[in-house]
């Protein structure tokens, strides 16, 4: 593949989008998302950030105790309170709990994740996380800021936060919507209206983070084939590993639909982060009832 810029100067997101690398099936996978407000500078490894020195042991305990959990630091410029905002998000249940605390030790996070009754705010609105983690990749900072500003100006967007690395620098600008758990990529300022619209903008969706990558791809292929854009249209029934891929079942209304997904290498090499050497990239191919499907 020809390159217009040296590796050190090229933006990985421009390389990926220019080559037409698909978004579907690329969202980071975790069942429990722990959001911790940290207004200070973020290190490349978020938990190593200076402002979390006194809280690091608590966060590490949470991550060790809660299976398939992930930490996201969050901040917004106008925050002025001394209290720290903490969220526990479980996208599969479309559930978010919140706390305002002086110390993370006050948060019964493990108990909440295990379903025990705890004192917490039940968050009923939408939370938008915009990746702005420049120390992980410059694409995130450069491409994320216009999206953050655009969403922050939209009352219907709900709570809008900057966040640490969401995974997939090369798909910047990237966002995560909670409680639904849908992740988006290749975002431009003109996409902001679509992000807050009632219907899913399927062409911008990377996947739902409570699903693994093959299941993400299967859902988007099925949605694209049926033009199913309601966020709650697809109910996941099962994903089974097979010799030549995955068999995924979703319930849509009264019907159960099956999708077969297999992995497929893409042509050419691309950097996965700014400054990286180009490497092989793979995506998936989906089939529904003998008809090939491409996510919208």
Question: Is 151 found in the same domain as 17?
Answer: yes
Domain count, the chain: 2
Run of H or E residues at 240: strand 235-242
Q: Residues 6 or more apart from 62 whose CB is under 8 A from it? A: 34, 69, 71, 109, 110
Report the chain's mean pLDDT, rounded to a whole number. Answer: 89
Alpha-carbon distances, residue 166 vs 53, 144, 192, 290 (angstroms):
22, 11, 18, 34
Question: Is 270 found in the same domain as 157?
Answer: yes
> Is there a domain that residue 1 lies in?
no
Q: Residues 6 or more apart from 182 whose CB is under 8 A from it? A: 27, 176, 200, 205, 207, 208, 209, 231
Alpha-carbon distances, residue 92 vs 16, 69, 118, 173, 234 (angstroms):
29, 13, 20, 24, 12
More confident: 182 or 167: 182
> Is there a domain that residue 46 lies in?
yes
Question: Is 276 found in the same domain as 185?
Answer: yes
- Lowest-pLDDT range of 9-13, 220-224, 282-286: 9-13
Q: Nearest 5 degrees, angle CA 125-CA 91-CA 293?
A: 115
Average pLDDT for residues 4-14, to the nearest whole number? 53
Question: Is 176 found in the same domain as 242?
Answer: yes
* Whether residue 6 has pLDDT greater than 70: no
Question: Is 262 found in the same domain as 147?
Answer: yes
- Lowest-pLDDT range of 116-120, 175-179, 279-283: 279-283
pLDDT in tens, 125-139: 999 999 997 655 666
Domain extent, residue 42, equals: 32-122
> Is there a domain that residue 204 lies in?
yes
Question: Is 150 found in the same domain as 204?
Answer: yes
> Is there a domain that residue 4 lies in?
no
Q: What is the Cα 55 distance to its own chain's centre? A: 24
pLDDT in tens, 231-264: 999 999 999 999 999 999 999 988 899 999 999 9
Question: Is 37 found in the same domain as 174?
Answer: no
> Is there a domain that residue 133 lies in?
yes
* Whether residue 296 has pLDDT greater than 60: no
Phi, psi of 292 (to 5 degrees): -60, 140
Strand partners, 269: 280
Indicate the pLDDT class of residue 65, thresholds 50, 70 and 90. very high
Indicate the pLDDT class of residue 14, thresholds 50, 70 and 90. low
Question: Is 60 found in the same domain as 23?
Answer: no
From 95, 122, 149, the end of a domain falls on 122
Residue-level pLDDT at 281: 80
Indicate the pLDDT class of residue 270, thresholds 50, 70 and 90. low
Question: Is 178 found in the same domain as 92?
Answer: no
Question: Is 283 found in the same domain as 227?
Answer: yes
* Whether residue 154 has pLDDT greater than 70: yes
Question: Is 46 found in the same domain as 84?
Answer: yes
Residue-level pLDDT at 255: 87
> Is there a domain that residue 6 lies in?
no
Residue-level pLDDT at 78: 75
From 104, 122, 140, the end of a domain falls on 122
Residue-level pLDDT at 267: 77
From 122, 142, 163, the end of a domain falls on 122
Question: Is 155 found in the same domain as 46?
Answer: no
| CATH of residue 278 | 3.40.30.10
- Omega before residue 173 within 30° of 0, cis: yes
> Is there a domain that residue 82 lies in?
yes
pLDDT in tens, 22-53: 899 999 999 999 999 999 889 989 999 999 99
> Is there a domain that residue 207 lies in?
yes
């Amino acid at each position: 593949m020809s390159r217009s810029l040296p590796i050190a100067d090229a933006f990985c997101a421009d390389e990926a989008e220019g080559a037409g690398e698909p978004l579907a099936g690329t969202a980071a996978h975790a069942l429990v998302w722990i959001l911790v407000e940290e207004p200070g500078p973020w290190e490349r490894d978020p938990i190593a950030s200076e402002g979390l020195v006194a809280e690091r042991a608590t966060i590490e305990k949470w991550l060790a105790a809660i299976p398939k959990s992930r930490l996201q630091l969050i901040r917004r410029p106008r925050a002025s309170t001394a209290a720290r905002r903490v969220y526990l998000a479980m996208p599969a249940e479309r559930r978010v709990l919140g706390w305002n605390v002086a110390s993370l030790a006050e948060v019964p996070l493990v108990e909440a994740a295990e379903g025990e009754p705890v004192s917490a705010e039940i968050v009923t609105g939408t939370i938008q996380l915009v990746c702005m983690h420049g120390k992980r990749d410059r694409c995130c900072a450069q491409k994320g800021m216009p999206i953050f500003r655009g969403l922050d100006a939209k009352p219907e967007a709900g709570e809008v936060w900057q966040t640490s690395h969401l995974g997939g620098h090369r798909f910047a600008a990237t966002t995560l919507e909670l409680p639904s758990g849908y992740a988006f990529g290749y975002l431009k300022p003109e996409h902001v209206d679509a992000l807050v619209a009632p219907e899913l903008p399927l062409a911008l969706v990377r996947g739902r983070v409570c699903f693994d990558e093959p299941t993400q791809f299967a859902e988007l292929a099925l949605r694209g084939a049926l033009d199913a854009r309601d966020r709650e249209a697809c109910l996941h029934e099962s994903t089974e590993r097979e010799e030549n891929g995955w068999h995924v079942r979703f319930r849509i209304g009264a019907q159960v639909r099956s999708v077969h997904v297999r992995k497929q290498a893409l042509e050419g090499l691309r950097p996965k982060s700014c400054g990286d050497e180009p490497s092989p990239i793979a995506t998936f191919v989906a089939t529904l009832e003998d008809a090939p499907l491409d996510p919208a």
